[in-house]
């Protein structure tokens, strides 16, 4: 309802997006490093945004792989990025996620994407508070950075991967202590690039339920993006009610004077 998708659907649009973001940008492709992309872009996205086309089968992994190779080969960049942070690395990581999902389901059919029976999931006694979960889904937690990400998800069906990391960490081990299963279901129903294997893997990782266990390393809902977007342009776009707030309060509006 009221979705304004970040990219239009279909194979023809997928090929146009591939040409625009990969074929036509050899130096970008050759030097791409995923951790260095921006999750607070408000106009032109810092990533390829090809994931929806991959998820829906409009673009094949083989097409993407060879397009990356061909474009990178034409680059004049003195040094080139390598897996896992490169675009080739991202394609490999995608296949690794699919392998993990397949392996889990081989042992217990249907166990991927849930806690029970999932060989890769550590059971955690999560809380179950429907009101808190709903506030998170609707972008009403009171933390502007988190709420802005959720508003973008609701509006465009997409969020940059670091935004996804932040809201997933916030819902689970970081702040709200709600089950990652609930978050995964919400992502599954809202993301244009929803992928059963990738979605489950990312939620296991971000909740420290599987693959990653440094639970003390959390994404701060306040400090994490201050260095990248000190004026809060991303927040101002997705939370227009805060658009006139001075920059020093944009990440912590509760610290602003009442008058």
Q: Is the pLDDT confidence value at 259 over 80? A: no
Tens-digit pLDDT profile for residues 12-70: 999 999 999 999 999 999 999 998 999 998 888 999 999 999 999 999 999 999 999 99
| CA 245 to each of CA 142, 234, 253: distance values in angstroms, whole numbers, following the listed order | 14, 13, 8
The pLDDT value given to residue 93: 96
Q: What value does the mean pLDDT take over residues 73-78?
A: 96
**For residue 119, is pLDDT > 90?**
yes
Alpha-carbon distance 9 to 229, whole Å?
30
Which has the closest alpha carbon to 150: 173, 177, 168, 126?
168
Higher pLDDT, 78 or 43: 78
Q: How many CA atoms lie within 13 A of 26 on its CB side?
A: 11
Q: Mean pLDDT across the stretch 179-184?
A: 98
Q: Is the pLDDT of residue 103 over 80?
A: yes
Q: Quick one: average pLDDT of 123-135?
A: 97
pLDDT value at residue 165 = 96
Q: What is the mean pLDDT of the chain?
A: 96
Residue 110 has pLDDT above 90, yes or no: yes
The lowest-confidence range among 50-64, 92-106, 148-162, 217-231 is 217-231
Q: Give me the pLDDT at residue 1, please.
A: 67
CA distances from 81 to 66, 235, 254 (A): 16, 31, 42
Residue 90 has pLDDT above 90, yes or no: yes
């Amino acid at each position: 309802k009221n979705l304004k998708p970040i990219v239009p659907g279909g194979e023809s649009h997928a090929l146009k997006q591939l040409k625009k973001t990969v074929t036509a940008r050899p130096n970008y492709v050759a030097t791409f490093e995923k951790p260095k992309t921006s999750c607070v872009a408000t106009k032109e996205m810092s990533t390829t945004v090809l994931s929806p086309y991959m998820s829906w089968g409009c673009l094949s992994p083989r097409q993407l792989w060879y397009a990356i190779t061909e474009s990178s080969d034409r680059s004049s960049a003195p040094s080139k990025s390598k897996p896992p942070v490169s675009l080739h690395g991202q394609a490999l990581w995608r296949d690794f996620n699919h392998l993990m999902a397949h392996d889990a389901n081989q042992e217990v059919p249907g166990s991927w994407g849930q806690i029970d029976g999932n060989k890769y999931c550590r059971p955690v006694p999560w809380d179950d508070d429907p009101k808190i979960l709903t506030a998170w889904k609707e972008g009403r937690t009171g933390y502007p950075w988190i709420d802005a990400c959720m508003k973008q998800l609701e509006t465009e069906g997409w969020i940059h991967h670091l935004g996804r990391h932040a809201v997933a960490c916030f819902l689970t081990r970081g702040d709200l202590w709600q089950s990652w299963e609930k978050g995964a279901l919400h992502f599954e129903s809202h993301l244009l690039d929803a992928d059963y294997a990738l979605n489950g893997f990312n939620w296991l990782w971000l909740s420290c339920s599987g693959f990653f266990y440094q639970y003390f390393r959390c994404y701060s809902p306040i400090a994490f993006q201050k260095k990248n977007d000190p004026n809060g342009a991303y927040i101002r776009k997705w939370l227009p009610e805060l658009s006139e707030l001075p920059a020093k309060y944009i990440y912590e509006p509760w610290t602003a004077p009442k008058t």
